[in-house]
A and B are shown apart, each in its own frame.
Chain A
């Protein structure tokens, strides 16, 4: 069953056409909403929450219409916005209790739930400090906490890994996995930091200029659009580049620092060739990765630029 359905969403801000007929179908599970800056991700999220009215088109979450029944939607949804901001003089705990009560929890339960959530996001030891004294990473964790505290069925995260340190990021991904497994919470994660997204998402949708380019199962999208793109790192890059260019198996190569991007003509024969050569010529192969989400996004954006 689809959690979110959006059809032909259009939204203009003056001359800026933010959405140009966006179609979106988010199934249960973890959905990755991928796109470059300004692609229309945040606008879509605001429309889904009823904070913005689309110029045309319709959207629904859990079967409720976003324009008419947004209150019912918001009761079931927790949101972390791109730049969460909080009243600076309240403490983290007080704020969470306030949010939990808005979600309809009675006071005592709201307090317990807030403490549990603070523990989950790793802010328990600063719970009694005013939010104004929090660091950027702590704010982001608090933003996560306020999205979780109302026991929502769907959690929308807009750029959740911004401002988080590497440990915070892996904690976040772990938490997403756990919530999905234990409580069957669905996720819509908007991000442009793709390697992380790829590790948790079941489905992805790639959006550009307010139009959905591709959506489907993450693995299938990657296989289809980046199956022939390889990331290679070797200790002798010059020899390697020379070698593969002569082999006539590649269409395009690009070297960025130590990493070589290769667009192969035929994935399987290129794979076999590199492995064989690495063994025979002792290239010192340290990374050999077949297409990821990032390559798929780049590939798609390039393909659409030509049109």
Chain B
């Protein structure tokens, strides 16, 4: 199980996947932090009109950019984790070794889950800063906990759907598109 997980994690972040994950993540992070930095100056002062607008943009961008982008990217990039094994022909090798089918599936699921968790965490960091600044009534610890739990829920659903679709279709593209459709619904 440990070896399988190691192997799956490695293949999940292998070239070109790693690059496909890192660059959009960085981009989102940079854009959102710019917005945060822009709105940094006057939050403590009296909230005037442009300030509200900036806050609105920042809050909205957290919702609009981060989660949908993540929901689109994660299936596109890692939904083929199982179909890939069939396409490369390594699945037959894998099921010939003394491992249970459930272990193979679980390790795939866990690697998708952890990678998507990390991606969502980093892309939503900037958004969290916005929330922290604008809703200072939340204590930081509560905020961090809320963040971790909500990311868990989101990445769990994203990776379950991706793994499921990847299991029942034969092609990587179909798998990615299928999980995208299900998630957007």
Contacts and interface: CB of A to CB of B under 8 A. Distances in A.
- Is chain B a partner of chain A in the same complex? yes
A104 B90 contact: no
A86 B3 contact: no
Interface stretch (B41-49, B51-59, B96-104): B96-104
Contacts of B184: none
A75 B93 CA distance: 14
B96 A81 contact: yes
A79 B10 CA distance: 24
Contacts of A146: 93
Q: Is the interface of A mostly helix, strand, loop or mixed?
A: loop
Nearest to A79: B96
Contacts of B15: 89
Interface residues of B, number: 18
Contacts of B11: 87
A49 interface: yes
A288 interface: no
B153 interface: no
B93 A84 contact: yes
Interface in A21-52: 46, 49-51
Nearest to A102: B97
A198 interface: no
A66 B1 CA distance: 22
Contacts of A51: 92, 95-96
A74 interface: yes
A129 B55 CA distance: 54
Contacts of A104: 98
Contacts of A101: 3
A10 B163 CA distance: 32
Nearest to B7: A98
Contacts of B92: 46, 51, 81
Contact of B88 (A50, A85, A103): A85
Contact of A71 (B89, B93, B98): B98
Contact of B89 (A46, A75, A83): A83
Interface residues of A, number: 25
Interface string B104-139: 000000000000000000000000000000000000
A99 interface: yes
B89 A74 contact: no
Interface in B10-46: 10-11, 14-15
B17 to A, nearest CB: 12
B97 A99 contact: yes
Contacts of B95: 49-51
Interface in A56-109: 71, 74-75, 77, 79, 81, 83-87, 89-90, 98-99, 101-104
Contact of B93 (A85, A89, A103, A150): A85
A85 B90 contact: yes
Contacts of A86: 90, 93
Interface in B39-94: 88-90, 92-93
A98 B3 contact: yes
A150 B3 CA distance: 15
B173 to A, nearest CB: 21
Max count, chain A CB within 10 A of own CB: residue among B14, B88, B96: B96
A85 B86 CA distance: 10
Interface in B164-178: none
A102 to B, nearest CB: 5
Max count, chain B CB within 10 A of own CB: residue among A77, A84, A102, A104: A102
A277 to B, nearest CB: 54
B14 A74 contact: no
Contacts of B90: 85-87
B93 A74 contact: no
B73 to A, nearest CB: 22
5 contacts: A49-B95, A74-B98, A75-B98, A102-B99, A146-B93
Interface of A: 46, 49-51, 71, 74-75, 77, 79, 81, 83-87, 89-90, 98-99, 101-104, 146, 150
Given A51-B95, A71-B100, A102-B3, 19 more contacts: A46-B92, A74-B98, A75-B98, A81-B92, A81-B93, A81-B96, A83-B89, A85-B89, A85-B90, A86-B93, A89-B14, A90-B10, A98-B7, A99-B97, A102-B98, A102-B99, A103-B97, A104-B98, A150-B98
